[in-house]
Amino acid sequence: MSWTVFATAIISAMLINNVILMQFLGICPFLGVSKKTSSAIGMSAAVMFVMVIASMVTYTIYDLILYRYGIPYISTIAFILVIASLVQLVEMILKKFSKSLYKSLGIYLPLITTNCAILGVSEANITNVWSSTTPFFNGLFEATAIAFGTSLGFGLIIFAFSSIREKLESSNVPEAWKGVPISLVVAGIMSMAFFGLAGII
Q: What's the 3-state SS for the chain?
A: CCHHHHHHHHHHHHHHCCCCCCCCCCHHHHHHCCCCHHHHHHHHHHHHHHHHHHHHHHHHHHHHHHCCCCCHHHHHHHHHHHHHHHHHHHHHHHHHHCHHHHHHHHHHCHHHHHCHHHHHHHHHHHHHHCCCCCCHHHHHHHHHHHHHHHHHHHHHHHHHHHHHHHHHHCCCCCHHHCCHHHHHHHHHHHHHHHHCCCCCC
pLDDT digits (tens, 9 = 90+) for 91-149: 888 888 888 878 777 777 777 776 788 888 999 888 888 887 888 888 898 899 999 99
pLDDT for 175 equals 85
At residue 201, the pLDDT reads 65
**Res 1 pLDDT > 60:** no
Confidence check: pLDDT of 38 > 90:
no
The rounded percent of the chain whose pLDDT value lies above 70 is 98
For 155-191, the pLDDT digits (tens) are 999 999 999 988 888 888 888 888 888 888 998 999 8
**Residue 29 pLDDT greater than 60, yes or no:** yes
CA distance 34 to 41: 9
pLDDT at 7: 83
Report the number of distinct structural domains present in the chain.
1
User: Taking CA 50 as the corner, what is the angle to CA 137 and CA 110, rounded to the nearest 5 degrees?
Assistant: 155
Residue 60 — pLDDT band, cuts 50, 70, 90? very high
Average pLDDT, the chain: 86
Q: Tell me the percentage of the chain whose pLDDT exceeds 90.
A: 24
| 170 φ/ψ sector (left φ>0, alpha ψ -120 to 50, else beta) | alpha
Q: Which domain does 77 fall in, by range?
A: 3-199
* The predicted structure's pLDDT at residue 181: 87
For helices 37-61 and 116-124, the axis angle rounded to 10 degrees is: 30
Q: What is the pTM of this model?
A: 0.85
